[in-house]
């Protein structure tokens, strides 16, 4: 509030003095960072700082794309880098980040597929003469991936239309203003910028149990499986685990959820129990107090899971067609080499501590899931990206 009052007074004073001198407020003034007062410049550079770009954005997810486009609209010379490291199962995807490719969008489409299937029984009760001949998993996946692919292309077109340069390469810091770009073919180049935004997001975590990466999939893989997962074990009590179990059950698969302790930790527990109860009544089996200790791939391709029941203190073995891990997510900071730029990471989470989105290095910023103690939500990252670009 004090800042706004001061800005209004400064603006009033400036207008008055300009009027006395017979001059008008310059349209290119950059001292008042509010909408309507932000200057419009050509994308040739915001200042003569000596670097190739005004802004490098590392990460082409929801937050990174929003920041890139907004900064370019305001006249900055911007480059957006994005690269997807294949999952241990070999899954990769295009521009757009987690939400578009392996999160919100395909999840909602698979939920819709499940809801349509469950609606058949209700339709008959209301007089509809419908028959269900089973579900074609392959057809569903093909159509969903085609739709996601169209979004990937649309994002690339939008960047080009907004004069944002796109580089499909993995970025890492060489120093505080230099980023090393490594492409899929191994070609390496370097770019420099006055300011840098880190928007690399996160990827699914693995529990560190024998056979986890060799035998299990994650949410990175489930939306592009070539065939129905069959008898599936979802390990974890998070909303990612429960959502996946929900639509897989609705699509006709035999699904179990293994929880170490409480379901949906951090959520209202009364509601959480109601959700779990609803899922159980609709066919999802809940394994409470289970901690996996070993995964083993069998000759027929199935996975034998060994877990400890913390209530009975006994070891249990069970075989599944598919095992999906949903035990948390890790920030993609390990390969960024932020140390070379002097940027500090949180010692436990590996995320960036930047409550105002500005790191301990003044010209390096961060948005989205890579931030410590920030809501991991797409709308938050989108809004943060746009607002940060305006502030910069």
**Alpha helices of the chain — where are they, by DSSP H?**
2-20, 62-73, 97-102, 104-125, 137-161, 212-215, 219-222, 239-250, 269-281, 378-391
Distance between CA atoms of 289 and 200, rounded to whole angstroms? 34
Instruction: Provide the pLDDT for residue 30.
Output: 37
Cβ–Cβ < 8 Å for 58, 352: no
Stated as kind and residue range, the H or E segment containing 238 is none
Q: How many other C-beta atoms are found inside a 10 Å radius of the C-beta of residue 60?
A: 30
38, burial (CB in 10 Å: exposed 0-12, middle 13-18, buried 19+) = middle
In contact, 170 and 83? CB cutoff 8 Å: yes
Task: Return d(Cα 390, Cα 193) in angstroms, integer.
Answer: 17
Percentages helix, strand, coil for the chain (3-state, rounded to 5) are 35, 25, 40
Per-residue pLDDT at 35: 36
List C-alpha distances in Å: 338 to 16, 235, 351, 364, 389.
47, 32, 11, 10, 21
3-state secondary structure of 314: strand
List the one residue out of 1, 207, 222 whose CA is nearest residue 111. 222
The closest alpha carbon to 334, from 225, 132, 190, 198, belongs to: 198
pLDDT of 121 reads 79
* Residue 99 to residue 104: CA distance in whole angstroms: 5
pTM of the model: 0.86
> What span, in angstroms and rounded, lies between the C-alpha atoms of 71 and 193?
13
Contacts with 30 (C-beta within 8 Å, 6 or more apart), sequence order: 38, 39
Q: Using N-to-C axis directions, what is the helix angle for 137-161 and 62-73, rounded to 10°?
A: 20
pLDDT at residue 21 in the model? 39
Distance (Å, rounded) from C-alpha 175 to C-alpha 349? 23
What letter would DSSP give residue 82? -
Local confidence pLDDT in tens for the 392 residues of the chain: 555 545 555 455 444 444 433 443 334 333 333 333 344 444 445 568 999 999 999 999 999 999 999 999 999 999 999 999 999 999 999 999 999 999 999 999 999 999 999 898 789 889 999 887 889 999 999 999 999 999 999 999 999 999 999 999 999 999 999 999 999 999 999 999 999 999 999 999 999 999 999 999 999 999 999 999 999 999 999 999 999 999 999 999 999 999 999 999 999 999 999 999 999 999 999 999 999 999 999 999 999 999 999 999 999 999 999 999 999 999 999 999 999 999 999 999 999 999 999 999 999 999 999 999 999 999 999 999 999 999 99
Residue 107 is encoded by which pair of tokens? 């999840």
Exposure of 177 by Cβ count < 10 A (0-12 exposed, 13-18 middle, 19+ buried)?
Answer: buried
8 A C-beta contact, residue 337 and residue 175: no
- As a whole number of Å, the CA-based R_g of the chain is 25
């Amino acid at each position: 509030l004090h800042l706004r009052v001061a800005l209004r007074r400064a603006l009033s004073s400036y207008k008055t003095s300009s009027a006395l001198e017979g001059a008008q407020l310059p349209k290119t003034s950059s001292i008042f960072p509010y909408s309507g007062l932000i200057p419009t410049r050509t994308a040739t550079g915001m200042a003569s700082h000596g670097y190739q770009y005004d802004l490098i954005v590392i990460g082409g997810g929801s937050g990174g794309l929003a920041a890139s486009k907004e900064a370019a609209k305001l006249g900055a010379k911007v480059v957006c880098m994005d690269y997807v490291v294949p999952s241990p199962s070999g899954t990769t995807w295009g521009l757009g980040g987690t939400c578009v490719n392996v999160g919100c969008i395909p999840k909602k489409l698979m939920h819709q597929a499940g809801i349509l299937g469950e609606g058949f029984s209700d339709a008959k009760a209301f007089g509809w003469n419908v028959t269900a001949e089973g579900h074609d998993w392959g057809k569903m996946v093909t159509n969903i991936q085609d739709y996601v692919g169209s979004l990937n292309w649309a994002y690339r077109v939008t960047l080009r239309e907004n004069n944002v340069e796109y580089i499909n390469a993995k970025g890492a810091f060489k120093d505080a203003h230099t980023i090393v770009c490594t492409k899929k073919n191994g070609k390496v180049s370097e770019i420099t910028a006055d300011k840098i935004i880190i928007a690399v997001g996160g990827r699914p975590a693995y529990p560190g149990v024998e056979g986890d990466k060799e035998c299990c999939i994650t949410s990175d893989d489930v939306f592009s499986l070539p065939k129905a997962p069959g008898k599936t074990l979802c390990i974890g009590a998070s909303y990612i685990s429960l959502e996946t179990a929900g639509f897989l059950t609705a699509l006709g698969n035999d699904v179990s959820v293994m929880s170490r302790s409480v379901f949906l930790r951090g959520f209202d527990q009364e509601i959480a129990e109601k959700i779990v109860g609803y899922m159980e009544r609709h066919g999802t089996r809940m394994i409470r107090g289970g901690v996996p200790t070993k995964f083993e791939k069998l000759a027929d391709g199935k996975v034998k899971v060994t877990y400890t029941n913390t209530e009975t203190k006994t070891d249990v073995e069970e075989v599944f067609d598919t095992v999906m891990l949903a035990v948390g997510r890790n920030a993609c900071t390990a390969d960024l080499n932020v140390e070379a730029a002097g940027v500090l990471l949180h010692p436990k989470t590996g995320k960036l501590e930047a409550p105002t989105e500005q790191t301990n290095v003044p010209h390096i910023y961060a948005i989205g899931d890579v931030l410590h103690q920030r809501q991991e939500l797409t709308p938050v990252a989108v809004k943060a990206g746009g607002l940060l670009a305006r502030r910069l």
